Amino acid sequence: MSTVADTTTVGRTIIVRALSDGQLVIPTEFRQALGLDGDAVVAMTIVEGEVRIREATESEKSTLGVGSDWFKELYDYFAPAREEAIAKGYTEQEINEWIDQAVAEVRAERGRG
Mean of pLDDT over the chain: 80
Query: CA distances (Å), 55 to each of 3, 27, 100, in order?
Result: 8, 15, 24
Looking at the domain assignment, is residue 56 inside a domain?
no
Q: Three-state SS across 33-51? A: HHCCCCCCCEEEEEECCEE
Q: Looking at the domain assignment, is residue 18 inside a domain? A: no
Q: Which domain holds residue 84?
A: 78-109
Q: How far apart are the C-alpha atoms of 43 and 74, rounded to whole Å? A: 23
Whether 82 is covered by a domain: the verdict is yes
Asked, for residue 62, whether it belongs to a domain, the answer is no
- Looking at the domain assignment, is residue 90 inside a domain? yes
5 part of a folded domain = no
Domain membership flag for residue 14: no
Alpha-carbon distance of 26 to 19, in angstroms, equals 12
pTM over 0.85: no
- pLDDT confidence of residue 105: 86
Residues 71, 33: Cα–Cα separation, whole Å: 28
Residue 83 has pLDDT above 70, yes or no: yes
The total number of structural domains in the chain stands at 1
Whether residue 102 is contained in a domain is answered as: yes
The 10s digit of each residue's pLDDT in 9-26 is: 678 888 989 888 888 888
